[in-house]
Amino acid sequence: MKCHEVDYEIFGNDMQIVEIELDNGETVIAEAGAMNYMDSGITFEAKMGDGSTPNEGLMGKLLNVGKRVLTGESIFITHFTNSDKGKRRVSFAAPYPGKIVPIDMNRIGGEIICQKDAFLCAASGTSLGIAFNRRLGAGFFGGEGFILQRLRGDGMAFVHAGGTVIQKELHNDTIRVDTGCIVAFMPGIQYDIQRAGGLKSMFFAGEGLFLATLSGTGTIWLQSLPFSRMADRILAHAPRAGGKRLGEGSVLGRLGGLIDGDR
């Protein structure tokens, strides 16, 4: 496997953009709708597949489509190619506030497993697949279900996550993590879940019923603000039926409703 060699630059802090520089003939693949802006000379095409195996045939393409349906992603991947003579740039933005994490696949052994919606873009030649979680407990209660994304290649790949991202190294060790805070991990890491303490802690500590356990040797990436947590907070304060808002449970919240004419 030989991915295209691309240069990149990341801009911003909490609403980041990755700008990728392509030489003539170089291609980067990305999730549908991730492109932010691009230079003239960049052409793009939506394809049913990542292009890592160009001679896979119709059945191979249909199999790739089925895999992407299982992960909840679009069945098409957009391929951006520099068709001009000089260097040209194309940029991609994450769909919600957080960080874009650049990963040199060649330095981590050519494979990484990540949450289903983490992939943003990658150098052409990167293979996008799925990884089944064979542990029933992790599948039902681990936050990501039975199916995770598997990226293979030897070039640059970019994943996105919510809030702040921290990279940790495990050396034959174990760490317990909130189930939604896992972004990605190397294949040498074992992923499972365990009960979050006793019954009182499970129901009243606010940390959920289960925690994820990551053990082994390798690199893991964690996020501080999973999208599901942010969405829950937004929904909690969205207007109810009839246009009434959910307040903060404080005098200020009531006062805000009076000012807005809700009360």
Q: Report pLDDT digits (tens) over 128-157.
A: 888 765 554 444 444 444 578 889 999 999
Q: Report pLDDT digits (tens) over 193-209.
A: 776 655 554 454 445 56
As a whole number, mean pLDDT of residues 3-9 equals 93
How high does pLDDT run on average in the chain? 78
Task: For residues 7 and 19, give the distance between their C-alpha atoms in angstroms, rounded to a whole number.
Answer: 9
- Domain 7-230 superfamily per CATH: Mitochondrial biogenesis AIM24 (3.60.160.10)
Are 89 and 17 within 8 A, CB to CB? Answer: no
State the pLDDT confidence band at 259, using cuts at 50, 70 and 90: very low
DSSP 8-state class, residue 225: S
Strand order in the sheet with 7-11: 7-11, 17-22, 88-93, 35-38
As a whole number, mean pLDDT of residues 63-89 equals 76
Q: HEC string of 81-106?
A: EECCCCCEEEEEECCCCEEEEEEEHH
> What does pTM read for this prediction?
0.77
Please determine, for residue 178, whether its predicted confidence score (pLDDT) is greater than 60: yes
| Buried b or exposed e, range 76-107, using 16+ CB within 10 angstroms | ebbbbbbebeeebbbbbbbeeebbbbebebee
Bridge partners (DSSP) of residue 161 are 99
